[in-house]
Amino acid sequence: DIVMTQSPDSLAVSLGERATINCRSSQSVLANSNNKNYLTWYQQKPGQPPKLLISWASTRESGVPDRFSGSGSGTDFTLTISSLQAEDVAVYYCQQYYTTRRTFGQGTKVEIK
């Protein structure tokens, strides 16, 4: 199975500042057939199911604020929150869907400094 490793495990950022979360996969999730990265980012708030933020490593879902962006390719990916808002406090997970056994990263907790 592909192992997904996120860093850091947690971070505290001041309101309005940038938050950066990294995700590394143990093997490439880039498909040569269509040049797409099978990598998604979810946001989970306490007591709620995860919410899909970004798919294909960099495609923001409808309704997701543009302060959220995804980048990277192959094995190294980044989720950036350009200007942290209070409502962004949550745990963020990456997940690969390159293989049918879709594995998650361990999560990164984002808090306000």
Partner 1 sequence: EVQLVVSGGDLVQPGGSLRLSCATSGFTFSDHYIDWVRQAPGRGLEWLGLTRNKANSYTTVYAASVEGRFTISRDESKSSVYLQMSSLKTEDTAVYFCARSQTASPINYWGQGTLVTVSS
* Residues at the contact surface with partner 1, assessed by CB under 8 A: 1, 38, 40, 42, 44, 49-52, 55, 61, 91, 93, 95, 97, 100-107
Q: How far is the CB of 83 from partner 1 (least distance, A)?
A: 25
Do the Cβ atoms of 95 and 103 come closer than 8 Å? yes
Do the Cβ atoms of 20 and 88 come closer than 8 Å? no
Nearer to partner 1, 50 or 72 (CB): 50
Q: How far is the CB of 3 from partner 1 (least distance, A)?
A: 12
Nearer to partner 1, 14 or 48 (CB): 48
Nearer to partner 1, 4 or 81 (CB): 4
Q: How far apart are CA 94 and CA 23, in angstroms?
A: 7
In order of 25, 75, 97, the CA distances from 72 in angstroms are: 11, 8, 15
Q: How far is the CB of 79 from partner 1 (least distance, A)?
A: 14
The length of the chain is: 113
